[in-house]
């Protein structure tokens, strides 16, 4: 798709995203949507470390932070404090094909009988909406952490939720090439070669 207004091209070739442009990021306002799109091509995935730093602050207890950190370090896509309707889930692990596991981590000091009944009612409502849950008490985690973690990993695998993979172990995702274009005279008229060069590059990528 060629956007002539901004001389920006975004196309898919052999399963890869390619962008051909004639503007520099320094020429764009920080409010310009094109800057966001260019940012994606320059850095298409947020690193695990950066994402973890942004997300772990949303965890509401040390128990949640520990479980989040363990799963994230194994390459799982984990999102804390997911809002769904009028409710909120402690964290959700996402996989391919829209597979999701809702994780509820119950800190013993906060869960009396009334709170437990409320949580179970909430879980049943969300299960009727299609959510699948895995729950764990903080005391159980402390006493049998390795066994409980293995149980969680087995559950994730059974649901088809696999680690997305750490970004530092992935191959290079971005290749940058820069061409310098000039203007030439055609029958005495100055012609901007940029548009023609963009179209030529597009055809070259497709061939």
DSSP state for residue 91 in the 8-state scheme:
E
| The total number of structural domains that make up the chain | 2
The answer on 75 and 139 residing in a single domain is yes
The answer on 142 and 59 residing in a single domain is yes
Domain range for residue 200?
2-44+173-206
The answer on 147 and 80 residing in a single domain is yes
Place of tokens 């009396």: 112
Q: How much is the average pLDDT of 201-207? A: 56
Q: How much is the average pLDDT of 115-121? A: 82
State residue 193's pLDDT score: 55
Residue 64's pLDDT band (cuts 50, 70, 90): very high
**Sheet of 8-13, strand order:** 2-3, 8-13, 16-21
The answer on 114 and 164 residing in a single domain is yes
State residue 166's pLDDT score: 38
CATH of the domain at 98: 3.40.960.10
How far apart, in whole angstroms, are the C-alpha atoms of residue 135 and residue 126? 14
The answer on 121 and 68 residing in a single domain is yes
The answer on 69 and 16 residing in a single domain is no
Q: How much is the average pLDDT of 156-175? A: 64
The answer on 164 and 67 residing in a single domain is yes
How far apart, in whole angstroms, are the C-alpha atoms of residue 90 and residue 8? 41
State residue 142's pLDDT score: 93
The answer on 75 and 20 residing in a single domain is no
Q: DSSP string of 153-171?
A: HHHHHHTT------GGGSP
State residue 40's pLDDT score: 54
Q: How much is the average pLDDT of 15-21? A: 54
The residue with greater pLDDT, 24 or 124, is: 124
What is the share, in percent, of the chain residues with pLDDT greater than 70? 52
State residue 15's pLDDT score: 42
The answer on 160 and 100 residing in a single domain is yes
Q: How much is the average pLDDT of 140-150? A: 96
Residue 97's pLDDT band (cuts 50, 70, 90): confident
State residue 197's pLDDT score: 57
Q: How much is the average pLDDT of 65-93? A: 91
The answer on 154 and 88 residing in a single domain is yes
How far apart, in whole angstroms, are the C-alpha atoms of residue 144 and residue 115? 24
Q: How much is the average pLDDT of 77-103? A: 90
The answer on 115 and 20 residing in a single domain is no
How far apart, in whole angstroms, are the C-alpha atoms of residue 79 and residue 142? 22
Residue 199's pLDDT band (cuts 50, 70, 90): low
The torsion region of residue 103 among left (phi > 0), alpha (psi -120 to 50) and beta comes to: beta
**Planar angle of CA 76, 77, 79, nearest 5 degrees:** 130
| Cα end-to-end span (Å), the chain | 16
Is residue 12 a contact partner of residue 6, using CB atoms and an 8 Å limit?
no
State residue 13's pLDDT score: 35
Check whether 90 has a pLDDT greater than 70.
Answer: yes
The answer on 127 and 115 residing in a single domain is yes
């Amino acid at each position: 798709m060629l956007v002539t207004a901004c001389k920006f091209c975004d196309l898919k070739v052999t399963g890869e995203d390619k962008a051909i442009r004639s503007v520099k990021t320094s020429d764009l306002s920080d409010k310009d949507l094109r800057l966001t799109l260019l940012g994606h091509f320059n850095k298409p995935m947020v690193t695990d470390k950066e994402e973890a730093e942004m997300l772990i602050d949303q965890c509401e207890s040390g128990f949640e932070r520990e479980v989040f950190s363990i799963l994230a370090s194994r390459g799982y896509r984990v999102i804390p404090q997911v809002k769904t309707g009028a409710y909120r889930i402690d964290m959700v692990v996402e996989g391919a094909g829209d597979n999701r596991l809702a994780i509820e981590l119950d800190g013993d000091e906060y869960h009396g009988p009334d709170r437990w009944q409320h949580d179970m009612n909430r879980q049943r409502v969300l299960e009727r909406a299609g959510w699948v849950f895995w729950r764990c008490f903080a005391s159980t985690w402390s006493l049998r952490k390795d066994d409980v973690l293995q149980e969680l990993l087995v559950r994730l695998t059974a649901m088809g939720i696999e680690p997305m993979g750490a970004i530092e172990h992935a191959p290079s995702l971005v290749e940058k090439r820069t061409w310098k274009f000039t203007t030439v005279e055609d029958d005495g008229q100055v012609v901007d070669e940029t548009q023609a060069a963009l179209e030529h590059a597009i055809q070259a990528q497709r061939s």
